[in-house]
Amino acid sequence: MSKRVILLGPPGAGKGTQALIIANTAGVAHIASGDLFRKHLGEGTELGILAKDYMAKGELVPDDLTIRMVLERMTEDDASDGYVLDGFPRTVEQAEALDEALLSQGQEIDKAPLIEVGKEELIRRLSGRWICTDCQTPYHQVFNPSKLTGKCDLCSGDLYQREDDRAEVVEARLDTYDVQTTPLIGYYQSQGKLVRINGEQEVDLVTSDLGNAITLSDGFS
């Protein structure tokens, strides 16, 4: 039976890590919207060229274009037994369009686990990243600090923090997520597909809870 899961959660919750683990364990495809955009832009596909035109104008890529990318990816061989969606949908409008497209194929999403992490912890995770200016090796001041403050262990290059990783920018990103995604959480909760997962546990415990939640859905039994 097909296995169709949407993994929800804020930036810094570990969605990408968990989505990959779940997909590999269940033998289904990991479909990350960010990877899809990079692939289409890099390969200069028809969808990539259309998306690039909107981005060049500083405009948001329309939902229908994003959905076309996702639906096209779902037709590939590795997704024939199911998939874990990571980073899509982001809004209720996208979720409704996805449901409509799946319904036309006699399918539906089985489960929508939500990895929950408090705002302070998310800021700590996201704003702690530093990168070597010379060799681009990443560090984290809490989880993977360099031995010598401000210097790379491998090449002794200076470490810098990207603008997107600064605490005030991170907080703004999280506020945007809250505005966009709170209605989406309600959308899947009303369908009985939402499962809340404590994302502040150790990684293996989060994985275990996700596995248990997904196993309870018809598609993963």
- The answer to whether residue 151 is domain-embedded is no
Percent of the chain with pLDDT over 70: 95
Q: What pLDDT shows up at residue 1?
A: 37
Phi, psi at 108, each rounded to 5°: -155, 165
Omega of the bond prior to 89 within 30 degrees of 0, cis? Answer: yes
The span from the CA of 192 to the CA of 188, in Å, is 6
The CATH number assigned to the domain holding 37 equals: 3.40.50.300
The residue segments making up the domain with residue 36 are 3-117+175-220
- The answer to whether residue 73 is domain-embedded is yes
Q: Which residues are paired to 130 by β-bridges?
A: 139
Angle of the 33-43 helix axis to the 63-74 helix axis, nearest 10: 90
Q: Which of 125, 159, 148 is nearest to 17 (CA)?
A: 125
Quick: pLDDT tens for 70-99.
999 999 999 988 999 998 998 899 999 999
Given a cut of 50, is residue 219 above it in pLDDT? no
- The answer to whether residue 33 is domain-embedded is yes
Q: Which residues are paired to 31 by β-bridges?
A: 85
CA–CA distances in Å: residue 133 to residues 22, 127, 136, 138: 34, 17, 6, 10
Q: How confident is the model at residue 46 (pLDDT cuts 50, 70, 90)?
A: very high
Residues in the chain: 221
- Which strands make up the sheet holding 159-160, listed edge to edge? 138-140, 129-132, 159-160
- The answer to whether residue 152 is domain-embedded is no
Given a cut of 50, is residue 2 above it in pLDDT? no
Give catalytic residue positions: 15, 90, 129, 162, 173
Q: How confident is the model at residue 188 (pLDDT cuts 50, 70, 90)?
A: very high
Q: For CA atoms 53, 55, 61, 66, give the dihedral sign.
A: positive
Quick: pLDDT tens for 108-119.
999 999 999 999
Given a cut of 80, is residue 12 above it in pLDDT? yes
Q: For CA atoms 44, 8, 217, 105, give the dihedral sign.
A: negative
Q: How confident is the model at residue 37 (pLDDT cuts 50, 70, 90)?
A: confident
